[in-house]
Structure 1
């Protein structure tokens, strides 16, 4: 979690900030002193500014970002969190479903970043943090479209870092494992055996539990804050070691 005062005087924008990871990020940055604007289809009031925004619509994005900059006096931090999930193999999803996932997860990040860049260039502490996923670096079953979209976010993060470092804008991403969010809870509820599915999700993460939204928010706050002033083009994994650990179960190790 961020220390109180870390973000004093800074303005942060969090897309998809009304629930789940986005809500935790909003609360963490706010507790550190930032003035936080939530951009969401159904924005919550638990922030300094709540703006309805559809990241799939460029005009909606431009209006929302302009309102934030005008109302709060600029933009210093952008957290691209808005996104959707998708289940299925490469053969299971229609072209329309693939387009929908990329429209929101990838192009949504592009649109908001593009609209925020003129304001970020004026900030002495500019940072963009993209919410990526373990799915970008680890093959997960039945997540083809989602994994492809998050792989694009990882590559986009590095490309943006290269393009904008000279302008004083750092760009990083956070790669969570399976996080206890409303979306995951809905997936569990719709499964044939929610208890068994939850046990399987816990077991595939080496520390044996779901990641919390607050843990992801803590990583976002670190990458967005002054302590990471020399960090850019980095992915920070918050997954209990899922990306690289292969632990043996049982007494014998």
Structure 2
């Protein structure tokens, strides 16, 4: 099955984790992919993975919180491949702290990387999608947008903003033939989470403990989230507009229960 033959996609956060899994999945199903990140070496690894599978990928180094970088990234992709049809925004940062503890610069970093980036990517990508006759965008939020734990004020707020912005973008651009949706994963085994537990005496046990918070009993694999993103980007989801899908191993269902 090749759902994306002839399509051109831009994927952020493609240095690893879910962004890399999305880029690989898109390329494996026929898309030419621009992989965006700040770690040039890791981007080249992503490109090598895609090329070994017979796909096409272009590494683009950019800071997605900077407007000129985003504009350049989109322009470089369109110059190389001639169009832009799909956008998967998987880049993000995680910082802990209640509002009384979180430094102001960390709050700003969370909102720049997690939220302003959605605005900038949409601002520069949507005109090219409109010119191509339509397209699809998927933003990666988090289950923390709906049920946060203590000490995650900035992260939870930023991810909730992603959900709200997704809905507004969807309504503003459905007439252009552009569908916008988002996914809200539970805890995934990604470099982001691994870095968060790096200071524990036993990081592997810390990761396993986080996994056990999900009724599924484990962390979400990035490829599982990528599969949902690919569905939302595909024509199989052509009637799905302005929605946010949780992929959390039952975590929200458990939080909503009486026991």
Whether these two folds match at TM > 0.5 is: yes
Aligned counterpart, 1:60 = 69
Query: Which of 12, 20, 23 matches 1:23?
Result: 20
Q: Indicate whether 1:111 and 2:120 are aligned.
A: yes
Unaligned runs of 5+ in 1: none
Runs of 4+ in 1 over 6 A off after TM superposition: none
2:76 is paired with a residue whose SS is helix
Q: Indicate whether 1:14 and 2:20 are aligned.
A: no
2:198 is paired with a residue whose SS is helix
Does 226-235 or 238-247 show the bigger shift?
Answer: 238-247
Aligned counterpart, 1:225 = 234
Question: Over residues 67-94 of structure 1, what are the superposed CA-to-partner deviations in whole Å (9 max), with x where a residue is unaligned?
Answer: 1111111100001111111111121111
User: Aligned in 2, Cα 1:247/1:56: closer, same or farther, shift over 3 Å?
Assistant: closer
Which structure has more helix as a fraction of its residues?
2
2:131 is paired with a residue whose SS is coil
Is residue 13–residue 75 contact of structure 1 (8 Å, CA) maintained in 2?
Answer: yes
Question: Counterparts of 1:77 and 1:247 in 2: how far apart (Å)?
Answer: 34
User: Aligned in 2, Cα 1:167/1:185: closer, same or farther, shift over 3 Å?
Assistant: same
Aligned counterpart, 1:201 = 210
Question: Counterparts of 2:10 and 2:88 in 1: how far apart (Å)?
Answer: 6
What is the CA distance between 1:189 and its match in structure 2? 2.2
Aligned counterpart, 2:171 = 162
Q: Indicate whether 1:240 and 2:237 are aligned.
A: no
Does 30-39 or 187-196 show the bigger shift?
Answer: 187-196
Question: Counterparts of 1:56 and 1:246 in 2: how far apart (Å)?
Answer: 33
CA-based RMSD:
1.7
Number of aligned pairs?
246
Question: Counterparts of 2:208 and 2:79 in 1: how far apart (Å)?
Answer: 47
Task: Output the TM-score relative to the length of structure 1.
Answer: 0.93
1:190 is paired with a residue whose SS is coil
What is the CA distance between 1:239 and its match in structure 2? 0.6
Correspondence 1:205-216 to 2 at 5 A: 205-216=214-225
What is the CA distance between 1:140 and its match in structure 2? 1.6
Is residue 94–residue 155 contact of structure 2 (8 Å, CA) maintained in 1?
Answer: yes
Query: Which of 122, 137, 152 matches 1:143?
Result: 152
Aligned counterpart, 1:77 = 86
Is residue 23–residue 35 contact of structure 2 (8 Å, CA) maintained in 1?
Answer: yes
User: Aligned in 2, Cα 1:163/1:197: closer, same or farther, shift over 3 Å?
Assistant: same
What is the CA distance between 1:142 and its match in structure 2? 1.6
Query: Which of 2, 7, 11 matches 1:5?
Result: 2
Question: Counterparts of 1:124 and 1:216 in 2: how far apart (Å)?
Answer: 27
Unaligned runs of 5+ in 2: 51-56
Q: Indicate whether 1:181 and 2:178 are aligned.
A: no
Is residue 12–residue 34 contact of structure 1 (8 Å, CA) maintained in 2?
Answer: yes
Question: Counterparts of 2:256 and 2:160 in 1: how far apart (Å)?
Answer: 25
Is residue 125–residue 226 contact of structure 1 (8 Å, CA) maintained in 2?
Answer: no
User: Aligned in 2, Cα 1:52/1:195: closer, same or farther, shift over 3 Å?
Assistant: closer
